Structure 1
């Protein structure tokens, strides 16, 4: 007796539209609801499936895939490439064993740089290391950005990551905002050019089996935060537009839509002083349906930022839902409002029961659900996940961190280094450094200088000092807030005095890692040579200092001259400081 034929949705010879409609018609309400949730997932040791972790608020893969019918997950953490591939295949095995066998779509925050905020990025680990997006912007090189995104595509594909929770194309118009590091800087025109290049690199020729989908964020622009605080936290929920520049912040997203981004993420913030409802963007019908769907013509997936429906417990502390402007609503009511706004998926949540209840009680129609499920299924078919869901462990091990990809990342680090001042040629601190100097260094691995200099442990014995410093910020308490570099942009007096004791003793080269702008006026006066970098390794910096590579970066924003300039600026207006220390675009080379 012959077996039953495969249903049409399993036939790769049929169109995406026909396969999507066939599968949609076979799904139960519970299966549809599961598709609307996209939350975090972790790996177990050696590529095993991790058990549930109630302390961290995480369910197991089996609970979510088999029990809740979910098939979109944001992978947090890292491991060697072979283990990542093995784990991915085990998750896909779980999905293949469900009634309809809907494959899993795995997503990830950026993981090719050195950011250490687990709420926003993953450190490069086994992947090739490149500068932060600010550093890509400092190169002004669209071809380089496309090469970067193509590298991301190759390495993600190898381990089964098919959705990038990036690029972040917010404009860095409020210098105190902790998320500046993930942007392309303050200029809308540059951000538009670079997002187009980024999306070309991620999708390859077209978004298909060889491409990675992009969830561009944070629509319609998360940069103009009141006082520069971040709306991960209730005290910072307001986005303000005193300069009337809403459309300028929208421009990079319009460019992303025109360039074919398949997904968008609205931010937590709620607009204040605009014509839009004063609620978080994920609940805002005028923004999601009126502006994005109707005005910009976007028919892709809209996924909320993480955790907007329900409170969560993390490390023993309750983290309230980031439901700004709708805090008074229940989780059911919030889900309904977001669906009515035009959202397709809820990030950081695993509550399909909320949607099932809304449909069963007649508050949301199943027809409305189908519109979102159709978009989500369509992307899985376009990515080829139904036809080739597994990855090859050997290929993963050979691709991730491949020598040519690491070399390209190193070249990008060199190109992003931004030289602001350079000492006179008669100074030992003039770049490029002459060989054989006695060097005192801080936060720089001494071995990286071994072939060109003698490292000493006392500035008084040195001919030149090299100081690697982090940009200043105000430390915040709490397991989440502590990762966000917020607050003032000035170094405290004690740290300035410590640095000045060195610069007064010996000509000094000062390198600042800028994860957002900083007030560097005192350092510019005291350092013989001043550089800023955007996430480059010690070896890359030494290459630049010694002339093996030339600095090529230019500032992606103004550097303010004082705290007063920062406070007087309008959060939505770029280049608003009256007398910046260094202007956007400044950068020296040789």
Structure 2
């Protein structure tokens, strides 16, 4: 229902610019400064303390903050009811300016919690790398359109994506959320994604897209990420700044609503060596003046309080002034509008400069229809979000993105024959129901199937735990294990690539080799047994060694010597015709033998696997009864149990040892 018109800004018949000016004229300084902050919000009780030590929603609303980023996605009903409750709270204020809710990517099947959040009730698709592997602009626009419909249904109106950086540094932890290494492909698919979210222009059924990370993350020194001080430097030894900028030019031409600069600071360029959001040459000179972008510029999260690279010696207030003077409109992850108000009162920031940013943010609220219809229909959302049809489309895309690199002759030649005796690791054996009989020992198998993930170095630190960074080499023990399995039975190996793992040790093994970019067991087995065809082509080069990676230039695509697989590599099935999906009778007829001995390795088992297992969940709940209800749980389910436990720095080592022993005994 529309809000009754008391003021001109509430009159839908008036032009947007007129409504913006009327509302602006009625706003206090505190109303205006509150608009320029975009912190994390916690779904639930508005009075409760927020996630990660953030303030309660009540205290944030009292500061007139009304843009919020949600991390959780519990259920459709929980999100929509919370959204409506928050809108009801702000409707009680003098001006009733509605809140705008944003989200990081959450529609992908991901194994790397640093790059996106759990899909929860939403449909699951491959990661953007998977869409780059497929290379179909129409499919990307279709995916983004479904994202749009599901977001709008629950009240999410700003997408903190697409990430249109180029994955040119093989070690970079955030490659999986990109469209790969190719600038032209990224430009095309990025534009398709923006069209799917926004339409031709931003309107009442749109989700505003925030393209990131201007002017192009990816060329990170030593492959480290600028979330951390040791990764703050962004370098261009190959002189490819313009190559990384190109997708952002395409996004601007497509009408992208918002832009997010990255944390990193350019080193060895013509630009000041400070983080991009503090860099006036970048935000005002390049983005605003040269490229003509007049949309919203929102900083990445926490640049004033945590990732203030190049301005470490400045105070919080001076950092805020420098970023605002550089040309940003909004501070992501911060919640100190009183500091900005102080800068206005003492004359360092002019009212005109403040109003310029306020106008941009108000204009978008009007364009999105939030001022006129701030709430959502809970029942309708439950019918629209995560429909069986959308989930099936997501599965089909996951399967299509699978990329075949080696197809050996013999029993492991793909697609596999049905009703073989199969030994599996790294996947749910029940996913083979109707297709194969699962045996407990590789010695009894006709074929072995191993699903593994690209290696990374587990880091310590509050946030470092979440990032898959460092070496791309499998350990000798991992390679030897695969070798032993392949010696016992013809073997299929499927590797999840969030980064271009060194696959060289697998090339000489007698295995058929697939890679994926976020796919469920169901999507994989459809490909493995010929119900779907792998259509993927590598969206980045696969290096042959870490030595080649170390010698390459981080801003240059395909720059490693003698790669194991070049960009675009991938095989087709021979004379493929779709196999029939298993019938209910076939599913009932297949058998699954249980392995003898421990079912879980406490060092490698994923936390989610334990929580989904009755015995595992009982053990965890015995020491942490509230664990499954923890709002952070959906973010860490895809992490190894041992890693999550290690994050609890105050945990008793003896209790951890007992817990691991209990898990090993299951």
**Partner Cα separation in structure 2 for residue 49 and residue 181 of structure 1:** 34
Q: 1:584 aligns with which of 567, 570, 584?
A: 567
The alpha carbon displacement at 1:115 in A equals: 3.0
Identify the residue that residue 497 of structure 1 maps to in structure 2.
Answer: 480
Who is 1:313 aligned against? none
1:265 aligned counterpart, secondary structure: strand
1:380 equivalent to 2:365? Answer yes
Matched, 1:59 2:44: no
User: Where do 1:202-241 residues align within 5 Å?
Assistant: 202-241=197-236
Q: CA deviation at 1:116?
A: 5.3
**Aligned mate of 1:300, from 284, 289, 295:** 295
Distance 1:295 1:416 in 2: 37
Per-residue deviation at 1:117?
Answer: 5.2
Find the counterpart in structure 1 of residue 82 from structure 2: 87
1:328 to 297, 304, 313: 313
Name the CA distance, whole Å, in 1 between partners of 2:199 and 2:494. Answer: 36
Deviations 1:12-61 (A, max 9, x none): 101110100111111111111100100100112xxx436124x8222222
Q: Is residue 116–residue 483 contact of structure 1 (8 Å, CA) maintained in 2? A: no
Q: Which residue of 2 aligns with 1:468?
A: 451
What is the deviation of 1:124? 0.9
For 2:46, the equivalent position in structure 1 comes to 49
Cross-structure match for 1:37:
37
The offset of 1:463, in angstroms, is 1.2
Cα distance in 2, alignment partners of residues 375 and 421 from structure 1: 52
> How many angstroms does 1:5 deviate by?
6.4
Match of 2:599 in 1: none
Task: Give the alignment of 1:19-30 within 5 angstroms.
Answer: 19-30=19-30
Superposed, 1:132-281 pairs within 5 Å as 132-281=127-276
CA contact (8 A) 1:439 1:455 kept: yes
Q: Write the distance in 2 (CA, Å) between the matches of 1:371 and 1:540.
A: 48
Name the structure 1 match of 2:406.
Answer: 421
Separation in structure 2 between the aligned mates of residue 141 and residue 120 of structure 1, nearest angstrom: 22
Q: Does 2:476 correspond to 1:479?
A: no
1:397 aligns with one of 378, 382, 385: 382
CA RMSD of aligned residues (A): 1.2
Cα distance in 2, alignment partners of residues 394 and 482 from structure 1: 38
- Cα deviation for residue 411 of structure 1 reads 1.2
Q: Which moved more, 1:197-206 or 1:357-366?
A: 197-206
SS at match of 1:499: helix
Cα-to-partner distance string for 1:139-196 (whole Å, 9 max, x where unaligned) = 1000000000001001001100000000000000000000001000000000010011
Q: Using the alignment, how far apart are the partners of 1:389 and 1:228 within structure 2?
A: 42
Distance 2:54 2:382 in 1: 28
Q: Distance in 1 between matches of 2:199 and 2:346?
A: 44
Match of 1:364 among 339, 345, 349: 349
Give 1:346's match in structure 2, choosing from 322, 326, 331.
Answer: 331
> Counterparts of 1:567 and 1:326 in 2: how far apart (Å)?
29
Residues 274-317 of structure 1: CA deviation (Å, up to 9, x unaligned): 0000000000000000000011100000000000112xxxxxxx
Matched, 1:410 2:395: yes
Tell me what 1:512 maps to: 495
Partner of 1:315: none
Secondary structure in 2 matching 1:504: helix
Deviations 1:315-367 (A, max 9, x none): xxxxxx10000000001000100011000000000000110110111111111
Q: For residues 236-262 of structure 1, give each alpha carbon's deviation from its aligned partner in whole angstroms, at most 9, with x where no partner exists.
A: 100000000000000001111110110
Deviation at 1:372, TM superposition (A): 0.3
Per-residue CA deviation, residues 531-586 of structure 1 (Å, 9 max, x unaligned), is 00011000010000000000011000000011111111100000111211111111
Q: Report the equivalent of 2:651.
A: none
- How far apart in 2 are the matches of 1:422 and 1:120? 31
CA drift of 1:444 comes to 1.3
State the TM-score, normalizing by the size of structure 1: 0.95
Query: What does 1:50-129 correspond to in 2, within 5 Å?
Result: 51-53=48-50, 56-65=52-61, 67-115=62-110, 120-129=115-124
TM-score (norm 2): 0.84
Asked if the contact 1:42/1:50 (under 8 Å) is kept, the reply is no
Residue 18 of structure 1 pairs with residue 18 of structure 2: yes
Report the CA distance between 1:95 and its aligned residue. Answer: 1.2
In 2, distance between residues paired with 1:70 and 1:117?
A: 31
Partner Cα distance (1:194, 1:234) in 2? 31
Looking at structure 2, the residues matched to 491 and 559 of structure 1 have their Cα atoms a distance apart, in angstroms, of 14
| Match in the other structure for 1:318 | none
The count of corresponding residues between Structure 1 and Structure 2 is 570
Asked whether the 8 Å contact 1:43–1:50 carries over to 2, the reply is no
2: CA distance, partners of 1:49 / 1:345: 23
Any conservation in 2 of the 1:137–1:185 contact (CA below 8 Å)?
yes
Asked whether the 8 Å contact 2:112–2:468 carries over to 1, the reply is no
Q: What is the DSSP-based 3-state SS (H/G/I as helix, E as strand, rest coil) of the residue aligned with 2:311? A: coil
SS of residue matched to 2:470: coil
Is residue 2:560 matched to residue 1:560?
Answer: no
Report the Cα distance in structure 2 between the residues aligned to 1:259 and 1:237, rounded to whole angstroms. 30
Structure 2: how far apart are the matches of 1:406 and 1:120? 21
Residues 98, 527 of structure 1: alpha-carbon distance in 2 compared, 3 angstrom cutoff: farther
Describe the superposition over 1:366-404 as per-residue Cα deviations: whole angstroms up to 9, x where unpaired. 111000000000000000000011100111100111111
Residues 129 and 410, structure 1, Cα contact 8 Å, conserved in 2 = yes
Residues 112 and 498, structure 2, Cα contact 8 Å, conserved in 1: no
The 8 Å contact of residues 113 and 467 in structure 2, kept in 1 or not, is answered as: no
